[in-house]
A and B are shown apart, each in its own frame.
Chain A
Amino acid sequence: MADRQIVKELEEKAYQMRVNLITLCGTFEGSVHIGGDLSMTDMMIAWYHYGLHVDPKDIQMPSRDRFVLSKGHGAVGMYIAMALKGFFDFDEILKTYGKLGSAYGMHPCKVNLPGVETSSGSLGHGLPIACGMAYWAKVQEQKHRVVVLLGDGESQEGSNWEAALAAHQYKLGNLVAVVDRNRLQLDDFTENMMSMEPYADKWKAFGWNVVEVDGHDMGALVDAIDNLPPVSSDVPTVMIGNTVKGKGVSFMENNPDWHAGSVSPEDMKKAIDEIEEEYTKRREGEWA
């Protein structure tokens, strides 16, 4: 079972990340992919602040775990999770995001922001890139993992399944694909658009080790990370995180209108109040 104190600290980070996300969404004069940022928040915190062996002071550390954001439109979610870890400065992100000359754009760019492992944004590209990284690490007998975060809608891209075959064929046990299964894509619910179910069975059929987890339950996420097969195993793992798009903000949750958008000052306050209220309740209840 996950250590209670660790979970508590991670939940606090996730709370901060949500407040930062809404703050940026309400400050930036343009659209932010807020729905998916909020659904991936707890998983990003679990990985960057618990699961990944990374050091913000040594971004090229050879033994670091590699993190690939395949759902590149979740860039803000990655920037903020990394900023809370000490990689970047949130105030700088808030001040410059999306502006001319900024390193922080709608989709991550490694050329401008060396702290990220790869540029991304076009969907269906992250898993093949992560396979290449994991293949090299396996050949070199490296001890680190390669973790790639996919969107569930993104799994409609055929290139993912080419890579899923390869990861199994090359026995990439050092590879973990994390799926933000929020059941929504830009236009509609995934199951209305192009049905993904039985989703876990698809990965099983490709020979992957499948773990399903509540993507908002920090204790469960910590347990899932603790129980991963060893890096030296021969089977890649997919960790399907069942999540809610817009998680934590009532008017965004499960609402196809909130793939991306911006919030008014009033809505920003309302959203932050809701996030705070939920967090306070959690703190006073479970941890009292």
Chain B
Amino acid sequence: MGVTFNFGEFAASRTICGDTLQEMGTRNEKIYVMTADLMRTCSVKGCKASFPKRFINVGIAEQNMFGMAAGLALEGNIPYITTMATFASMRACEQLRTDICYQNLPVRIVATNAGLTSTGGATHNAMEDMGVLRSMANLTIIVPGDPNIAKDILLATENYPGPVYIRLARGKGEPIVYQPGEVDYQVGKAIETRQGKDAVIIACGVMVSQAVDAANILEKEGMSVAVLDMHTIKPIDEEAVKKAARDTGVILTLEDHYTIGGLGSAVAEVIADGNLDCKFKRMGIPQLFPGFGDGPELYDKYGFGLDGTVDTLRDMIRNS
């Protein structure tokens, strides 16, 4: 693309993903792109133009879309399903589990509007998708830390074995963290976005940039905070979690998802299983159905916006 991005600016991950899928589908005839009346929302109109026979818009029928994807994959193809995270993880949950994961089929799900980013209220937010999906055997779950990494992830998973769930935020404007090509992306390998000695924020998705902002604020107060971009929620990078605990003894997880079931739970499992000695807290959406508002407004309302993150981490470091 040749565009330069700066940290803190915004780019639309859905446009980047739509363009990338169009590129991929144009050169790889095994690729099918599917959607359920969300072609515009998921920015995959270009796929319809470039390979109309391999672009399937099933109407508002997610169960059939996931079943058809299984059928296409059984015939040796690589279907990419694009829809909102709430419908991908719940409306067609059993088709994903039984038709796709059970048979370990290479279906990719590109899920938009995850967390509190949709502005549509609880019906269109997906606060629990990772919790629902993380226990599904064979499924890889990836949350891009910024829109540029989303492209790397799509390319890196093109021939990845088994099903992959890629969790995007709203897709219309996520904060930039990385320059295109800056990171040598590998599935399952956490990115050390920022170095630090006193604590580590393990974050994913849109929360990576907030974690960097929080670390920058605390640096002015004399605290050295690392940020680990844990883009692959499953299988999680256990070594990176262990190193974080060993090096700093203070871990805070930060995610736009319920604190139950997602990144925080995954990190807690590594800490508990490994008997790791560290201070640990999870930040994310509390157990409620959030009201209306945009993502940053809701993060503040429920205590895991920038201020809440800084305050929580400052207390953890001072008390450590």
Which A residues form the contact surface with B (CB < 8 A)?
109-111, 117-119, 121-122, 124-125, 127-137, 139, 158-159, 162-163, 165-166, 169-170
User: Which stretch, B69-77, B206-214, B257-265, touches the partner chain A?
Assistant: B69-77
The answer on a CB contact under 8 Å between A129 and B63 is: no
Contact A131 B70, CB 8 Å, known A119-B102, A165-B59, A165-B61: no
Q: Which of B64, B66, B102 contacts A166 (CB 8 A)?
A: B64
Q: Which residues of B contact A132 (CB under 8 A)?
A: 67-75, 79
Does B48 belong to the interface (CB within 8 Å)?
no
Q: Is the CB of A133 within 8 A of B103?
A: no
Q: Are A128 and B103 in contact (CB under 8 A)?
A: no
Contacting residue for B67 out of A136, A158, A163, A170, CB 8 A: A163
Q: Indicate if the CB atoms of B74 and A133 lie closer than 8 Å.
A: yes
Query: Which residues from chain A contact B73 at a C-beta distance below 8 Å?
Result: 132
Interface of B is mostly: helix
The answer to whether B54 and A159 touch across the interface, beta carbons within 8 angstroms, is no
CB neighbours (8 Å) of A165 from chain B are 59, 61, 64
Which chain B positions have C-beta within 8 A of A121?
98
Q: Smallest Cβ distance from B233 to chain A, in angstroms? A: 24
Contact B72 A111 (CB under 8 A): no
Interface centre among A124, A127, A128, A170 (most CB of B within 10 A): A128
30 contacts between A and B (CB under 8 A): A111-B102, A111-B103, A118-B74, A119-B98, A119-B99, A119-B103, A125-B99, A127-B67, A128-B66, A128-B99, A129-B68, A129-B71, A130-B71, A132-B70, A132-B71, A132-B72, A132-B74, A133-B72, A133-B74, A134-B71, A135-B56, A135-B68, A136-B72, A137-B75, A139-B53, A158-B63, A159-B64, A159-B67, A159-B95, A165-B61
B205-246 CB contact bits vs A (8 Å, 1 = yes)?
Answer: 000000000000000000000000000000000000000000
B143 → chain A closest CB, angstroms: 27
CB of B104 within 8 A of CB of A159, answer no
- CB-based contact A163/B64 at 8 Å: yes
The 5 closest A-B pairs by CB, nearest first: A132-B71, A128-B67, A132-B68, A162-B64, A162-B61
The residues of A that contact B79 with a CB separation of less than 8 Å are 132
Chain A hits for B71, CB < 8 A: 118, 128-136
Does any Cβ of A come within 8 Å of B311's Cβ?
Answer: no
B64 touching A128, Cβ below 8 Å: yes
How far apart are the CA atoms of A110 and B103 in the complex, in Å? 7
Chain B residues closer than 8 Å to A128, beta-carbon distance: 63-68, 70-71, 95, 99
Q: Which residues of A contact B64 (CB under 8 A)?
A: 128, 131, 159, 162-163, 165-166
B16 within 8 A of A: no
Which of chain B's residues has its CB closest to A157's CB? Answer: B63
The reply to whether A118 and B58 form a contact with Cβ atoms under 8 Å apart is no
Instruction: Let me know if B63 and A136 touch, CB within 8 A.
Output: no
Name the CB-closest residue of B to A146.
B71
B247 in contact (CB, < 8 A): no
Of chain B, the residue at the smallest CB distance from A124 is B63
Residues of B within 8 A of A137 (CB): 75
User: B94 contacts the other chain (Cβ, under 8 Å)?
Assistant: yes
With a cutoff of 8 Å between Cβ atoms, the chain A residues found around residue B77 in the complex are 136
How far does the alpha carbon of A111 sit from the alpha carbon of B137 in the complex, in Å?
Answer: 14
- State A273–B66 Cα separation when bound (angstroms): 46
Q: Name A130's closest neighbour in chain B (CB-CB).
A: B71
> What is the bound-complex CA distance between A162 and B95, given in angstroms?
13
Residue of B whose beta carbon sits closest to that of A121: B98
Shortest CB-to-CB span from B20 to chain A, Å, is 22
A271 to B89 Cα, complex, angstroms: 47
Point out which of B56, B59, B99 has the most chain A C-beta atoms below 10 A from its C-beta.
B99
Min CB gap A185→B, angstroms: 19
Residues on B with beta carbons closer than 8 Å to the beta carbon of A169: 59
- Please, which residue of chain B has its CB at the minimum distance from the CB of A133? B71
CA distance A246 to B279 in the complex (A): 64
Extra contacts besides A111-B102, A128-B63 (17): CB < 8 Å: A117-B74, A118-B71, A118-B99, A125-B98, A125-B99, A128-B64, A128-B67, A128-B70, A129-B99, A135-B71, A136-B72, A139-B53, A159-B64, A162-B63, A165-B61, A165-B64, A166-B68
